[in-house]
Every structure is written in structure tokens, then in C-alpha cells.
A = this chain, B = another copy of it.
Amino acid sequence: MSRLHVPVPLRWADLDAYGHVNNVAVLRLLEEARIAVFWRHPEAVDPGAWPTAVLDAGPGASTHTLVARQEIEYLLPLAYRREPVTVEMWIGRLGGASIEVCYQLVTDLEGERTVYAQAITTLVLLDAASGRPRRLSEAERAVWSPHLAPPLTMRRRRDGG
């Protein structure tokens, strides 16, 4: 099973005046999962690092990641809960200088899996010095390839849209 399971805690401030996690806040949760999985942090003590975390993090790093595109479907309203939700992540496509990250935001209570949202993000790797796209390295492909799986099929996309 190639999906990565990333626990992401909600925050009270993710709720809006309807009492549900705001639609924009859902993308914040996916961002947190993506950063946990792909980025290596400079602090020495980092026992929780994912094997997939091969990008240097932060403003001083040699690679920047640019979010080029996002697509998200909201399937069920998400209420506040103390336990983290789970972001299931996989890679839908490894391109020349880009990655397509697929996500499903789920809870799994007593064996019942519920999907609240699903999304795709296209990330472009940039050389930080030049600001131009740079190709994925062989090392990056080696680490990420085991997590390749068919991309999400969105339910609500229309041809004209």
C-alpha cells in the first residue's frame, strides 16, 4: 500500500461561523501534510521525519517549491474534533520538474473510514537561486516512486468548467 498516512490536528481557528472547518482551512490542513512528508528540516533533532522528506525546507534552501495548481472537492462538512484527522497522500504523477500530489482527508473511527475532501496539488520544483524550474533528481525519483499510484478521479469536474 503506497499511501502515506499523515495525522494533522485541527485547530479551533479552522472553524468558521457555520461551526465547520472552513473550506480554505481544509487546504491549510493539506499543506501541513505535504510539508511534513516532503520537507526535511534543518533542526538536528527530528525523529518524526518521513523517509520521503528529501526537500530542504525554508527560505534559505536551494530548492523552492511552487504550488502551480490545486483542485479540491468537499464531500462532507468537517466538525471540530480533538483527535487529528488523517491526510492520505500519494503521488499521482512524477513529471520532469513537477509532482502531482493526491490527497484524501479522512477519519477512521472504529473501523469506519469517512472521506471529507479530496484534492490534487501540482508542485513545481524551482532552483532557488535562479527562480527557474529544475528537474527532479534521480534521488528524488527513487524516494518518491514507491508512492506513485493512479491519480484521483474527481467526481464533479465538468468539461466546460
Binding site for B on A (CB under 8 A): 9, 11-13, 15-19, 22-24, 27-28, 31-32, 35-36, 41, 43, 45-49, 57-59, 64, 66-74, 77, 79-83, 92-93, 100, 109-110, 120, 122, 151, 154, 156-157, 160-161
Query: How far apart sit A72 and B82, CA to CA, in the bound complex (Å)?
Result: 26
Q: Are A82 and B43 also in contact (CB < 8 A) when A68-B73, A71-B70 are?
A: yes
User: Given A17-B19, A160-B93, A31 and B24 touching (CB < 8 A)?
Assistant: yes
Given contacts A12-B32, A24-B13, A69-B72, contact A59 B19 (CB under 8 A): yes
Bound Cα distance A77, B59 (Å): 15
Copies of chain A in the complex: 4
The reply to whether A12 and B18 form a contact with Cβ atoms under 8 Å apart is no
> Is A74 in contact with B69, judged by CB distance below 8 angstroms?
yes
Tell me if B49 and A82 are in contact (CB < 8 A): yes
A85 to B12, CA, bound (A): 17
A16-B13, A45-B83, A161-B151 given; A71·B74 CB < 8 A: no
Contact of A82 (CB < 8 Å), options: B9, B15, B36, B77:
B36
In the complex, the answer to whether B9 meets A9 with C-beta atoms within 8 Å is yes
Chain B residues within 8 Å of A32, by CB: 11-12
Bound together, the chains give a CA A92 to CA B68 distance in angstroms of 22
Cβ of A66 and Cβ of B74 under 8 Å apart?
yes
